Amino acid sequence: MLETKLSPEEKRRLERYIQDIKWSLRHKGSLDFLTQQKLRIALTLLDAKQPGDKVLQADAKEIIWDEKPFEERRLRKLINGRRARQ
């Protein structure tokens, strides 16, 4: 699957959502409803076929939670590397 190019506006939006999700995880310890929706939007921006998939969301939260750089690249790998469920 090819990576889609994000416009500068979409890139800023994605970065803002990732920062909001990080803040929520650090200060609240979990995601409230609005932050879960931001996670779904972020996954949609990265072309996830099923952004509501709970396993995908859990893996994405772990990627965002840790302090390693390149969250966007790692999220794309997570999304594009997954096999379709049967």
Q: Which residue range forms the structural domain that includes residue 20?
A: 8-79
Q: What is the pLDDT along the chain (86 residues), one digit of tens a residue?
A: 456 688 899 999 999 999 999 999 889 888 889 999 999 999 999 888 888 888 999 889 988 888 787 888 888 888 887 554 44
pTM > 0.75: yes or no: yes
Q: What is the pLDDT of residue 82?
A: 59
3 located within any domain = no
86 located within any domain = no
Q: HEC string of the chain?
A: CCCCCCCHHHHHHHHHHHHHHHHHHHHHCCCCHHHHHHHHHHHHHCCCCCCCCHHHHHHHHHHHHCCCCCHHHHHHHHHHHCCCCC
The total number of structural domains in the chain stands at 1
68 located within any domain = yes
70 located within any domain = yes
33 located within any domain = yes
54 located within any domain = yes
